[in-house]
Amino acid sequence: MRVEKGKIKREKSEYAVQAVSNAIDILELLGNCEHELSMSEIVSTLELTKSNVNKLLANLERFGYVEHNKYTGNFRLGVKTFQISQAYINKLNLIDISNQVLNNLKTKLNESTYIGVLRHGNVVYLNVLETDEPVRVMPRIGNVGPAYATAIGKAQLSVFQDKEIISLYENKVFRKLTDKTISNINELLKDIEIVRQRGYALDLEEYEEDVHCVAAPVLDFMGKVIAGISVSGPKVRMSMERIEKEIAPLLIESAHILSSKFGYTGYDENKENY
């Protein structure tokens, strides 16, 4: 990520401690860049003096917030920043944090919205906000189902490498829940590749007859998948045209919002997929 000169500098109030504000500017600059930065790059971008930056970096390095690469002479974020981030993530309640996002999605689409997590090749549904429509899908909250048969499972699997997916299902039998359920690892890998390309996963009567589901993954600050969110409904209301034009764009946007709450910043907003 390229950071323009002076862009990261925050407004300094008369009550702010200048050194603290400058130190935070340095941490944010290092966090927003995909590569290590030299002393001169930090000085130039933040428009600070070399002496000031040198003192701040020395103190940040001392406490583990910044690391100095002795081979390149450049600087990067230290392990302490990740420890604090992880501590923050651990204190977040996935269900509570996702509730508003799921509710907004349900309100816009008037279809049931879910959040679920991946556990050993299966999906565990944690929460559901049901549609107000009289015809609805039977709530899956608390259910455990094979990830390969569900949109919310395949969305999360799409973040994994193929070898990891193969390892998950090695020596496991693919149960046919309907006549449209994926039946082997090769079919699953082909489907997952499509999910990666378009940015969302589909379950078209693969888990339950007459039910269509759409799902997208939720990522944490390290880019690791922590959950999936989905929209489910009767296939008579969930046509492919509606999925592509209305449901999928809103779902992906919601997944991005929820991921950002867990610290993920890696989305390219110029692309429709993740």
CA distance 146 to 120: 9
Sheet holding 112-119, edge to edge: 144-146, 122-129, 112-119, 225-234, 211-219, 201-204
Give the global pTM. 0.67
Q: What six digits make up the tokens of 59?
A: 């103190």
Residue 263: pLDDT band with limits 50, 70, 90: confident
Mean pLDDT to the nearest integer, 112-129 = 89
Higher confidence at residue 31 or residue 149?
A: 149
pLDDT at residue 153 is higher than 90: yes
User: CA–CA distance from 198 to each of 19, 106, 214 (Å)?
Assistant: 45, 22, 12
Is 186 in the same domain as 204?
A: yes
Residue 191 has a pLDDT of 97
CATH code for the domain of 54 = 1.10.10.10
Residue 189 has a pLDDT of 97
Is 145 in the same domain as 209?
A: yes
Last residue of a domain, one of 69, 88, 107: 88
User: CA–CA distance from 96 to each of 13, 140, 149, 204, 251 (Å)?
Assistant: 34, 18, 26, 29, 18
CA distance 213 to 232: 4
Is 157 in the same domain as 101?
A: yes
Last residue of a domain, one of 34, 56, 88: 88
Residue 93 has a pLDDT of 77
Residue 91 has a pLDDT of 54
CATH code for the domain of 117 = 3.30.450.40
Inside any domain, residue 53: yes
Number of domains in the chain: 2
Q: What percent of the chain has pLDDT over 70?
A: 85
Domain that includes residue 42, residue range:
18-88
CA distance 166 to 186: 9
> For the chain, what's the residue count?
274
Inside any domain, residue 178: yes
Inside any domain, residue 47: yes
